[in-house]
Chains A and B, each alone.
Chain A
Amino acid sequence: MADQAVSKSQAAASTAAPDAVVVRFAGDSGDGMQLTGGQFTLSTALAGNDLSTFPDFPAEIRAPQGTLFGVSAFQINFGSTAIETAGDAPDVLVAMNPAALKTNLAAVKPGGLVIIDTGEFTKRNLEKAKYDVSPLDDGSLAKWDVLAFDISAQTIEAVKPFGLGNKDALRCKNMWTLGLALWMFDRPRAPIHAWLKQKFAKSPDLADANIAALDAGHAYGETAELSGPLRQVHVDAVPTAPGLYRTITGAEAVALGLVAGARLLRLPLFFGGYPITPASAILHHLARLKEFNVTTFQAEDEIAAICSAIGASYAGQLGVTSSSGPGIALKGEAMGLAIMTELPLVIVNSQRGGPSTGLPTKTEQSDLYQAVYGRNGDAPMPVIAARSPTDVFECAIEACRIAVQYMTPVMLLTDGYIANAAEPWKVPDPDVFERMPAEFLDQPNGPDGTLLPYKRDERGARPWIKPGTPGLMHRIGGIEKAVDTGHIDYSPGNHQAMTDARQNKVLDIDVRNQDVSLGNTSGRLAVVGWGSTYGPIHQAVRRARARGMDVSHIHVRHIWPLPANLGGLLRGFEKVLVPEMNTGQFKTVLRDQYLVDAQPLTKTSGQPFQIAELEAAIATFFDGVPGDAGGDEVPPNEQQLPSLKAVNP
């Protein structure tokens, strides 16, 4: 559990290895914290721990140095048991400047360890961080174990032999810090040495300087252990199924899932995209996979991106487009075209905080209405939501399958958290997935050799007809189509029939039945989640159940159409709680579809749910219910609670 601190008191009280540790690296956006976090993640994976990460960086590329809004942070939760969130409160905070300390300190567990680079605590930097008095001097850090020393000076000293300028020398600070972190958690340096040599292959001096900084940080740990609050902690490897593993981010998993999906369908993949945070990484990954018959097209705007994908699907490839909320809004009309012309299309939405430009680098789940309802006319479209970076892979394959088998656009929802977060992934064997080769019509399908472009199969799907096929010339478009023939037809009966056909086709999509992630299939409380809230909900439910509460976790992948058994499943519970990083959108869908009294638990701070928040909300359903020990297993985290709005039953 993440509530085991590496603090002096606990380490002294127990020599047992903690189950899990949460570490947050925070610094200026130019300090390379994401790189430090990324490399620490790899070393953690190699040590056999389970892990989850949360990169949290500003929207500005190079925000003015030392400012509060320029702070970039990377949090990792790792342990010897299953890890499903990036952790609530950090056990360890590394703060590279006053701004990083100020913006991150409140989250640190009381008694946790705070490592501070005093070299950056200049009068100017303190002013930029809006500190009147240095927190190092005013006793405000008394709640925590503090290890404050001049990391900048240590780094400059360590890289002196390589003759770097002061500025370049200080850029090695993140490696110095990483070295210290590697020592703290008993990790080998060799893989990082190898990575640095590879990264700086063209400038061996820089490689050597960074390695020297890393080693110096590591050596510092050994020395500091003798005199300060620092303790070396060993977190055991998690018992894991045998096999080949790697770390993967959600964005990588989308790219790989799309490539796998297209191959299972035996289709070339066409990806039309336009740069937008946090979705661009998908375009970047796919752009390098041309040998898999992938064409990537960076269009002039979001609308052109989706329209080019529609054009590619029309011509017989698997068209895919991707964006985040604002871009998805622009694509809305074209989605309607794909629905009307009944062409396959996958639309990936990496959600971020909104409305408008909103919070480009922060996560939110507030595009659910947009995904399910956000188009003109009755425009039904399947929606699939991935729950974690590794889950995205399978969801992307599922999106490709539905798009082609049902001749429909499909929206795949991820979010900024999933896109950027990394977790270990047991590399799947591509052969275990069902092959589902796409079929194209190659001869007339109507009576007397006529062509019926809108004749439906048993799934309600129309045939896919590639231009270039002799004898099957026909016209499609966004105007209402006549049943079967696809000719322009505005007549009342026809529009009714076609609206029904489009609606029923999507509602009848074969999606697998809803399972219960944790707990029983009926009982007092079901916590129903979707998307990236999976981890914190799962852990919160696990803890609540350990305290005797009759609560189950249901996590919905198929947002539209909903699994056929979901309504019955929900009716088996006395209460239904729906935690979401929005103002209650899925709750509305569930109420509408099933008339269940789904209660919202909402959070729109741009940060993922914490386990403790959810646990506290679950506990309110068990006030006075026997079995609620109300114990001290998890201290609630006051700092995160104000944004929490639970509607009590």
Chain B
Amino acid sequence: MNDMTPIVTTLKDWETDQEVRWCPGCGDYAILKAVQRTLPQLGADPAKTVFISGIGCSSRFPYYIESYGFHTIHGRAPAVATGVKLANPELDVWLVTGDGDGLSIGGNHLMHVLRRNVNMQIMLFNNEIYGLTKGQASPTSREGTRSPSTPYGSVDHPARPAAFALGSGARFVGRGFDVSKHLPDVLKAAHAHQGAAFIEIFQNCVVYNKDVFEDFAQPKGAEDRQLWLEHGEPMLFAGGTKGITLDRQALRLAVVDVVDGDWQAADVIVHDVTNRSIAHMLVEMPFGAFPMALGVLYDDPRPTFEAAVAEEREKASAGKEPNLARLLATGQTWTVGDNAADPVSSRPPGQGAPNADDPR
């Protein structure tokens, strides 16, 4: 995000006149509403907000947000967004991508936008399937996923978006799911983060991969299966009866019982969003034996790419006059005079323009 004067808007101000074309019941509707609800709370200015997407169901998102929007090509949104931020760092850029767009065809760009730390919010809608092309297995599909392209079940190992992001050098990794009431909080934290903020949003594809996240997302028993992380708070779930601790011998996380709320006795870890080592464990924490880690898993800003580029340009330009005539005459030059008797005079190197290149 960027520091800017808060603008007063309502949810309605962020709705476009375009007919939304997602399937009935699609998780994208809930995410759209969550974003439209969050933007007014951020004081965001529609004129300075840009939603940039690739290709896929999720990437239709910009058409439904009343701001500037750019629906680009498959996988390349991070590269387009990088150009936008370098050209105008004042713009507040939200990137919308999916598991196919962001991790398959666009995996390379996603990696680089994260490691460069270009200041934007990156929402990856993970539904573990290709929706818009009618249901093929995606890079996040679980092993054995049956689909038109994998009729006998997929055999390749799924990517873990949050682990990918952290491994790529992301300084903010958040997680939520479409219908979660906590999603706006994660979006707000991502927006507050200066730098590339990666948010994995589990999204229910009701047509091709229905209820694939029900094991942890369904309201019933959610307490036992969701670990909502908060900075400075102990990692507790199941109504405070269970927690996450660090097995210091094996150097891995473990679930412990918490008796009578005494989490300190159970050695439950206090979440520190700046702890990169723990973040690596959280993004790899297997669901089943553990609850699903949600919320802000990691948040430790460092200088942004566009600021570094601007700073370098300023430093390199300092004291240099942008004189085009002089630039054109750079290097070893010679003058042909009007006097035919003395047609040529030269200016040897060293006496030419100060930034003369080695003439190779």
Residues of A in contact with B (beta carbons under 8 Å apart): 34-35, 38-39, 41-42, 45-48, 190-191, 194-195, 197-199, 237, 240-248, 256, 259-260, 263, 268, 270, 272, 288-293, 295, 297, 299-301, 303-305, 307-317, 319, 333-334, 336-337, 341, 427-431, 466-479, 487-488
11 interchain pairs, CB-CB under 8 A: A198-B350, A247-B332, A297-B86, A305-B79, A309-B83, A311-B80, A311-B81, A311-B85, A311-B87, A334-B76, A478-B55
**Distance of A470 Cα from B309 Cα, bound (Å):** 27
Whether A308 lies near B313 (C-beta < 8 A) is no
For window 1-42 of B, CB contacts with A under 8 Å fall at 16, 18
Whether A237 lies near B337 (C-beta < 8 A) is no
Chain B residues lying within 8 Å of A39, measured Cβ to Cβ, are 359
Chain A residues lying within 8 Å of B91, measured Cβ to Cβ, are 315, 467-468
For window 67-106 of B, CB contacts with A under 8 Å fall at 67-74, 76, 78-88, 90-91
Whether A237 lies near B344 (C-beta < 8 A) is yes
Q: Is B188 an interface residue (CB 8 A)?
A: no
Whether A295 lies near B333 (C-beta < 8 A) is no
Whether A311 lies near B321 (C-beta < 8 A) is no
Encode contact with A along B301-313: 1 for CB under 8 Å, 0 otherwise: 0000000010011
**Residue count of chain B within 8 Å CB distance of chain A:** 69
Whether B79 lies near A303 (C-beta < 8 A) is yes
Chain B residues lying within 8 Å of A337, measured Cβ to Cβ, are 72-73
Whether A291 lies near B83 (C-beta < 8 A) is no
Q: Which of A47, A429, A473, A487 interacts with B325 by CB under 8 Å?
A: A429
7 new A-B contacts at CB < 8 Å, known A311-B80, A467-B91, A477-B71? A195-B348, A300-B108, A303-B79, A308-B86, A311-B83, A473-B66, A473-B69
Interface window among B46-54, B136-144, B204-212: B46-54
**Distance of A310 Cα from B77 Cα, bound (Å):** 11
Chain B residues lying within 8 Å of A333, measured Cβ to Cβ, are 73-74
Whether B332 lies near A246 (C-beta < 8 A) is yes
**Distance of A313 Cα from B72 Cα, bound (Å):** 13
Q: Is B320 an interface residue (CB 8 A)?
A: yes
Whether B346 lies near A191 (C-beta < 8 A) is yes
Least distance between A263 CB and chain B CB atoms (Å): 6
**Distance of A95 Cα from B90 Cα, bound (Å):** 58
Question: Beyond A300-B109, A311-B79, A487-B18, is A427–B328 a contact (Cβ under 8 Å)?
Answer: yes
User: Which B residue's beta carbon lies closest to that of A295?
Assistant: B86
User: Which A residue's beta carbon lies closest to that of B344?
Assistant: A48
**Distance of A633 Cα from B18 Cα, bound (Å):** 74
Least distance between B105 CB and chain A CB atoms (Å): 10
Chain A residues lying within 8 Å of B46, measured Cβ to Cβ, are 473
Sort A-B residue pairs by CB-CB distance and give the 3 closest, nearest first.
A311-B83, A477-B71, A308-B83
Whether A308 lies near B82 (C-beta < 8 A) is yes
Question: Beyond A198-B349, A245-B335, is A35–B360 a contact (Cβ under 8 Å)?
Answer: yes
Whether A191 lies near B90 (C-beta < 8 A) is no
**Distance of A334 Cα from B334 Cα, bound (Å):** 43
Whether B112 lies near A304 (C-beta < 8 A) is yes
User: Which B residue's beta carbon lies closest to that of A469?
Assistant: B47
User: Which A residue's beta carbon lies closest to that of B345?
Assistant: A46
Q: Is B317 an interface residue (CB 8 A)?
A: yes
Q: Is B295 an interface residue (CB 8 A)?
A: no
Q: Is B322 an interface residue (CB 8 A)?
A: yes
Question: Beyond A290-B317, A291-B316, A291-B317, is A307–B76 a contact (Cβ under 8 Å)?
Answer: yes
Least distance between B10 CB and chain A CB atoms (Å): 15
Least distance between A125 CB and chain B CB atoms (Å): 26
**Distance of A304 Cα from B48 Cα, bound (Å):** 23
Least distance between B333 CB and chain A CB atoms (Å): 4
Chain A residues lying within 8 Å of B90, measured Cβ to Cβ, are 468
Point out which of B18, B88, B317, B325 has the most chain A C-beta atoms below 10 A from its C-beta. Answer: B88
Question: Beyond A198-B349, A292-B327, is A243–B79 a contact (Cβ under 8 Å)?
Answer: no
Whether B329 lies near A244 (C-beta < 8 A) is yes
**Distance of A575 Cα from B63 Cα, bound (Å):** 55
Chain B residues lying within 8 Å of A290, measured Cβ to Cβ, are 312-313, 316-317
Chain A residues lying within 8 Å of B336, measured Cβ to Cβ, are 48, 240-243, 245
Chain B residues lying within 8 Å of A270, measured Cβ to Cβ, are 83, 86-87
Per DSSP, chain B at the interface is mixed
Q: Which of A42, A246, A467, A473 interacts with B329 by CB under 8 Å?
A: A246
Q: Which of A244, A299, A475 interacts with B69 by CB under 8 Å?
A: A475
User: Which A residue's beta carbon lies closest to that of B349?
Assistant: A195
**Distance of A195 Cα from B357 Cα, bound (Å):** 11
Q: Which of A241, A316, A427, A431 interacts with B88 by CB under 8 Å?
A: A316
Least distance between B40 CB and chain A CB atoms (Å): 15
**Distance of A461 Cα from B111 Cα, bound (Å):** 36
Q: Is B324 an interface residue (CB 8 A)?
A: yes
Whether B88 lies near A310 (C-beta < 8 A) is no
Whether A308 lies near B80 (C-beta < 8 A) is yes
Whether B327 lies near A312 (C-beta < 8 A) is no
Point out which of B48, B111, B346 has the most chain A C-beta atoms below 10 A from its C-beta. Answer: B346
Whether B87 lies near A47 (C-beta < 8 A) is no
Whether B69 lies near A428 (C-beta < 8 A) is no
Q: Is B133 an interface residue (CB 8 A)?
A: no
Chain B residues lying within 8 Å of A195, measured Cβ to Cβ, are 348-350, 359
Chain A residues lying within 8 Å of B87, measured Cβ to Cβ, are 268, 270, 295, 311-317
Chain B residues lying within 8 Å of A311, measured Cβ to Cβ, are 52, 70, 79-87
Chain B residues lying within 8 Å of A42, measured Cβ to Cβ, are 332, 359
Q: Which of B81, B321, B333 interacts with A244 by CB under 8 Å?
A: B333
Whether A243 lies near B86 (C-beta < 8 A) is no
Q: Is B249 an interface residue (CB 8 A)?
A: no
Chain B residues lying within 8 Å of A468, measured Cβ to Cβ, are 47-48, 68, 88, 90-91
**Distance of A197 Cα from B358 Cα, bound (Å):** 12
Point out which of B16, B90, B112, B359 has the most chain A C-beta atoms below 10 A from its C-beta. Answer: B359
Whether B333 lies near A245 (C-beta < 8 A) is yes
User: Which B residue's beta carbon lies closest to that of A243?
Assistant: B336
Least distance between A313 CB and chain B CB atoms (Å): 8
Chain B residues lying within 8 Å of A190, measured Cβ to Cβ, are 348
Whether A467 lies near B84 (C-beta < 8 A) is yes
User: Which B residue's beta carbon lies closest to that of A35?
Assistant: B360
Point out which of B76, B335, B358 has the most chain A C-beta atoms below 10 A from its C-beta. Answer: B76
User: Which A residue's beta carbon lies closest to that of B328?
Assistant: A427
Point out which of B18, B74, B328 has the most chain A C-beta atoms below 10 A from its C-beta. Answer: B328
Chain A residues lying within 8 Å of B72, measured Cβ to Cβ, are 307, 310, 337, 477-478
Chain A residues lying within 8 Å of B48, measured Cβ to Cβ, are 467-468
Chain B residues lying within 8 Å of A291, measured Cβ to Cβ, are 316-317, 320-322
Q: Is B260 an interface residue (CB 8 A)?
A: no
Chain A residues lying within 8 Å of B85, measured Cβ to Cβ, are 311
Least distance between B91 CB and chain A CB atoms (Å): 6
User: Which B residue's beta carbon lies closest to that of A284?
Assistant: B357
**Distance of A307 Cα from B79 Cα, bound (Å):** 5
Whether B83 lies near A430 (C-beta < 8 A) is no
Least distance between B79 CB and chain A CB atoms (Å): 4
Q: Is B291 an interface residue (CB 8 A)?
A: no
User: Which B residue's beta carbon lies closest to that of A470?
Assistant: B47
User: Which A residue's beta carbon lies closest to that of B51?
Assistant: A475
Chain B residues lying within 8 Å of A428, measured Cβ to Cβ, are 328
Whether B349 lies near A191 (C-beta < 8 A) is yes
Whether B348 lies near A472 (C-beta < 8 A) is no
Question: Beyond A42-B332, A191-B348, is A467–B112 a contact (Cβ under 8 Å)?
Answer: no
Q: Is B355 an interface residue (CB 8 A)?
A: yes
Least distance between A330 CB and chain B CB atoms (Å): 11
Q: Which of B71, B328, B330, B337 interacts with A430 by CB under 8 Å?
A: B328
Whether B83 lies near A38 (C-beta < 8 A) is no
Whether B328 lies near A304 (C-beta < 8 A) is no
Least distance between A300 CB and chain B CB atoms (Å): 4
Chain B residues lying within 8 Å of A315, measured Cβ to Cβ, are 83-84, 87-88, 91
Question: Beyond A310-B80, A476-B71, A488-B63, is A46–B344 a contact (Cβ under 8 Å)?
Answer: yes
Least distance between B63 CB and chain A CB atoms (Å): 5
For window 171-224 of B, CB contacts with A under 8 Å fall at none
